[in-house]
Structure 1
């Protein structure tokens, strides 16, 4: 009977440490071509010879232990001298003696109870995304800190959080784009249960959770990079896409082991933590080949795990030819960012020129962006990879008063443009720091200032407007008039006959009066001032410097 049990445990073992119940725990690692693998841990006094593992076939080494409930730490010993952590570690911690990390597994722990799996997930076109660096978002810098701000995000109108990497990364990598342990939530943020509680509460608050995930490369210290020379690795090699510009060990998606590892990572976060999607970092290095290598494989396998998953991508500079034929949900729309910076900064930002206004506003027209639909574009003008807009404008010499007028104007464009808007944390009150790879905590006190509170209120009103009007979440968009000499534009958004909006926008430093074409006669309401306008003919309207007026058909 014992032999049958052992056979079944070895047969059913998956990579990593797996608690099968009743104290039975399997440990497994894929290391083809190695002569021996041993398991050492606090359960055997770190004896590197006591627990030899067996090759189940093809280089998949397995053993099992019967352990009472508790927390156990371990590592693998390869060919008697190479010590490596488990590449599938779900938790890691420092070794008690000496330098480095060891893997950890909880045996007999309580299963987390998900209470809000029946929540109503928003449609892609309805997303209003908020990017968060957990370490900077709150003074606590952890999952609990975000947990306590979920009501704040929900009240503002946000319905999706995009977390920068939450897994363990290389020492000194504050942001998390050099992965060390893809399946282990970062210790300084909290444990797996803390993150599950955060995701569950986010769903209760109507917030989707999207993880920024790096599947192009790993840290140099990643366990997989310790096992073989680079040219002999079952995982690394020449990428299908571009050469890695960061000089990091790069996954080769022509290799079976790479594909299996990437599939397992996605499965883990979607099934174990119930996240709603991924933002794939650095797609050009992942690349694509034939119909099912690289990016197509990642997308297909993610959708096999959860068909409705949100799959966003970073492909900058933008390359619509690379991404539009695959089943991504959307990509970061870098041209929106550059266009907004041109118009708010009043300067040339390639490919846009301030003195060619008609061409500069073209980024707003989704039909000219070479993507299949408007909702494929994730629009933004702030993210973790760039200085804050407030800082950029201050560096250009704009006063604080004008700076905030411009930030409000940028918010108006962002929340009313075709595509899904994305904010970077603190943007809603005018956070003004430079990009920093080191800790860069938000200044929540700005929200208590008059200007910070007014900008936040403006964002909140725009989120409410976008949520209330399908027209703003639709494909329907037209320039009704462009006035290059005034640096002004009139935009129509509509959905059916009754859901219609007209936006008049003045990007110039002077008050402007110009003709505003309306789509139909009747009563229109200025969204911000609540002024009623009876439209018979297309009127001339005055706009203050750096301002926008939004008119809604009928009484809103």
Structure 2
């Protein structure tokens, strides 16, 4: 195994680890490259599957893990990781090492992807669900997210976006304080579990996007540590990756020098690793407006102006990624000047579009104009604006409505039931608009806790990053299920019917009653009364004849293009010129969000998988399980006739006579049924 460390301006490097008894050994003295910019070593006598732990000892005083490590051990935080989140977590070499340690399995077998040829949903019509694992699952791990994929699949999302899962400082974080950009943070689970989660997303047609943080690094980053000013506690002037002083006014941590060839190579390598190792479908680049060396420190207005050098740097990075992953989603949290964002969108980037204030005002019952959430209102030629009503960084609409909402007569938006209805109402003028959309976790259930909620229940600015209540019990409240069903149905329409991807549409989003009109194979007229009083309003019907209200199933005869409809406060309608049946209720356990007939994903184990034919499937249950009935399906969903044999706590079957490919085994017990994926090869 060859190790390489890029370390210009350093004199010598040893590799120390569990294969050197953690001592500097002359046999593990690294050889400098001809140009002196780096050091390399071939580690001898390793066998496949051998677990190795190591560090670089630089100039006799600096110890770091490999900057490209896939797993790092942390002496201060690993002890707080739960066994169920990361089973068999490698043990830190206490007393032998200090600081981060590289953990590596030599020639570890490749993960067996069941869906390696996933076809990504169209970028211009994505429904993205942004998620923080910590605040989405009670156990705060990837397994719990995997267990609830059916909930997300039924919601109708087409992409799941994870806040930064890379190794960050500490355990409890949003993830925007990265230390090792290529390592998966162990607090949420193992590499295998994250890959399984991604694979199962792909099985459901859901793309996976990860948030990456290349505006900055934090002090534990090895690229900071290698060239560090101890007295000033910042990168040293000779650091080839980081600026000594930030170049823009909104930086956090330590600012990368994006014009540095070393920084560019590091970013390119890390991004390619995430694509190839984890089959990631897209990146969301945090604080992309910071990818510049033009100095605007102290002048936020100057920083926001058009910057051609920044455009060039971002395009260089994008072109590199698209050279090996041509359909990859490249999403920027740019929030810059519109003239710069037009250029970036024309160059293929998708960009975040913050409409929190506008939709928040509408939900509360005040005047609002949501037009800036529509791509062509910004003079963009392509639907590459990722509009959102909420994100991890914005206040929750329900909280704003319940605390600050408007009222009129007996109608009060601060009433819980009314506020929930109004979340449905604003969604009706949000999701149908052409272009990609993003939902923040639990927005589809009317999550009502402030972004600034503290652990003691108070609301203060300093509590923005702390854990927030996880409220799966919302599913026991029919009012919240109604919100979920509205989001679910709107998502279904958006991804099913081409009219919701049309480039021929009109909208009026600045008056009390918002209208969205779409024209295609059939036409759509969505109308939402954001006022707190009754309104008589024109939906702008584009055809005469019968129109169908999607949610109620009612119809209306349109005899005049100027025909009005009456809407109560907070009421909404979605009319179509072609009758479309709304979805039936989602099949959810109202306590957990799981399908009502499914075990958790971890309830069954398959040995071996993949297999050339014979499979043994056993239940991971503390008590014996009797399988009452089984069904086997091929990848086309067709039931096949295969003999299934009962064994203790499970079943066995043989697919030797069937073609290689993916099969699905559904096992029924007295508690219901669950599906297991089998791969024959």
Query: Where is the helix percentage greater, Structure 1 or Structure 2?
Result: 1
The Cα shift of 1:220 comes to: 1.7
Please give the alpha-carbon distance, in whole angstroms, between the structure 1 residues aligned to 2:566 and 2:496.
26
Cα distance per residue 1:382-441 (max 9 Å; x no partner): 111122111111121511122112111122122111221111111111111222312224
Separation in 1 of the partners of 2:510 and 2:283? 40
CA drift at 1:513: 1.7
1:412-423 alignment to 2 at 5 Å? 412-423=428-439
Secondary structure of 1:200's aligned partner: helix
Helix, strand or coil for the counterpart of 1:528? coil
Task: Report the equivalent of 1:547.
Answer: 571
Provide the C-alpha distance between the structure 2 equivalents of 1:439 and 1:482, rounded to a whole number of angstroms: 35
* Other-structure match for 2:664: none
Residue 160 (structure 2) pairs with residue 155 (structure 1):
no
Alignment of 1:288-299 (within 5 A): 289-290=308-309, 293-299=312-318
Q: Does 1:235 align with 2:238?
A: no
Alpha-carbon distance change, 242 to 391 in structure 1, aligned in 2, over 3 angstroms: farther
Give 3-state SS (helix, strand or coil) of 2:195's partner: helix
Aligned equivalents of 1:312 and 1:475: distance in 2?
Answer: 21
d(CA) in 1 for partners of 2:172 and 2:308?
Answer: 31
Report the counterpart of residue 367 of structure 1 in structure 2: 376
Matched, 1:97 2:84: no
Q: Is the 8 A contact 2:428 2:528 kept in 1?
A: no
Helix, strand or coil: the match of 1:416? coil
Q: Secondary structure at the match of 1:141?
A: coil
Task: Give the deviation of 1:244 after TM superposition.
Answer: 5.0
Equivalenced residues, count: 513
Residues 128-527 of structure 1 aligned to structure 2 (within 5 Å): 128-171=127-170, 174-229=173-228, 230=235, 231-237=237-243, 243-287=248-292, 289-290=308-309, 293-316=312-335, 318-326=336-344, 327-334=347-354, 336-347=355-366, 354=367, 360-363=369-372, 365-373=374-382, 375-397=383-405, 398-435=414-451, 436-479=464-507, 484=511, 487-495=512-520, 498-527=521-550
User: Post-superposition shift, 1:75?
Assistant: 0.4
2-structure distance, mates of 1:244, 1:48: 43
Structure 2: distance between partners of 1:133 and 1:416: 25
- 2:545 & 2:252 partners in 1: Cα distance? 61
Following the alignment from structure 2 to structure 1, what is the Cα–Cα distance between the partners of residues 518 and 482? 26
Residues 465-509 of structure 1, C-alpha deviations (whole Å, 9 max, x = no match): 212322222222213x6894xx223331112xx321012221111
Comparing 176-185 and 116-125, the one that deviates more: 116-125
Structure 1 residues 107 and 483: alpha-carbon distance in aligned structure 2, compared to 1, 3 A threshold: closer
Q: What per-residue deviation string (whole Å, max 9, x for no partner) do you get for residues 195-254 of structure 1?
A: 111111111111100011011110122111011143111111279x95152442111121
In 1, the alpha carbon distance for the partners of 2:510 and 2:444 equals 29
Q: Quick one: structure 1 residues 196 and 515, their matched pair in 2 at CA, closer, same or farther if it must change by over 3 Å?
A: closer
* Equivalent-residue separation in structure 2 for 1:522 and 1:292 (angstroms): 50
Q: Distance in 2 between matches of 1:134 and 1:475?
A: 35
Query: Please, what TM-score do these two structures have when normalized by structure 1?
Result: 0.88
1:94-144 alpha-carbon deviations (Å, 9 max, x no partner): 342255321111113221111202233211122110001012211121111
**What's the CA shift for 1:277?**
0.6
1:514-536 per-position Cα deviation (integer Å, ceiling 9, x unaligned): 33331111221011111122212
Distance 1:97 1:257, change over 3 A: same
- Contact 1:131–1:161 (CA under 8 A) maintained in structure 2: yes
Q: Deviations over 1:523-550 (max 9, x none)?
A: 2101111112221213221112112111
Aligned residue in 2 for 1:533: 556
Q: CA deviation at 1:293?
A: 4.5
- Which residue pairs with 1:15 in the alignment? none
SS of 2:484's equivalent in the other structure is helix
Q: Distance in 1 between matches of 2:188 and 2:509?
A: 49
Q: Does the C-alpha gap of structure 1 residues 521 and 280 become closer, same or farther in structure 2, counting only changes over 3 Å?
A: same
SS at match of 1:492: strand
| Aligned partner of residue 518 in structure 1, secondary structure | coil
Partner of 1:20: none
1:145-183 per-position Cα deviation (integer Å, ceiling 9, x unaligned): 111111211111111001000110112660110111111
Distance 1:447 1:204 in 2: 25
Q: Secondary structure of 1:311's match?
A: strand
Which residue of the partner structure matches residue 38 of structure 2?
Answer: 60
User: For the Cα contact (< 8 Å) 1:426–1:442, is it kept in 2?
Assistant: no
CA contact (8 A) 2:15 2:29 kept: yes
Residue by residue, what CA displacement relative to the aligned partner does 1:12-44 show, whole Å, maximum 9, x if unpaired?
Answer: xxxxxxxxxxxxx12111001211000000111
CA distance in 2, matches of 1:70, 1:137: 35
Deviation at 1:364, TM superposition (A): 5.0
Give me the whole-angstrom Cα distance separating, in 2, the residues matched to 1:48 and 1:483.
69
Gap regions ≥5 residues in structure 1: 1-24, 348-353
Report the Cα distance in structure 2 between the residues aligned to 1:242 and 1:232, rounded to whole angstroms: 16
Identify which of 64, 68, 71 aligns with 1:88.
Answer: 68
SS at match of 2:431: helix
Contact residue 289 and residue 310 of structure 2 kept, 8 A: no
- Partners of 2:514 and 2:135 in 1: CA distance: 37
**TM-score, length of structure 2 as denominator length:** 0.72
Distance 1:366 1:291, change over 3 A: closer
Distance in 1 (alpha carbons) for counterparts of 2:339 and 2:288? 13
Greater mean alpha carbon deviation, residues 25-34 or residues 511-520? 511-520
Deviates more, 1:392-401 or 1:94-103: 94-103
TM-align CA RMSD? 2.0
Partner SS, residue 414 of structure 1 = coil
Residue equivalent to 1:3: none
Asked if the contact 2:13–2:57 (Cα under 8 Å) also holds between the matched residues in 1, the reply is: yes
Q: Within 2, Cα distance between the matches of 1:293 and 1:49?
A: 46
CA apart distance, 1:271: 0.9
CA 1:169/1:193 → structure 2, altered by over 3 Å: closer, same or farther? same
Q: 1:120 to 1:47 in 2, by over 3 A?
A: same
Cα deviation for residue 328 of structure 1 reads: 3.8
Partner SS, residue 499 of structure 1? coil
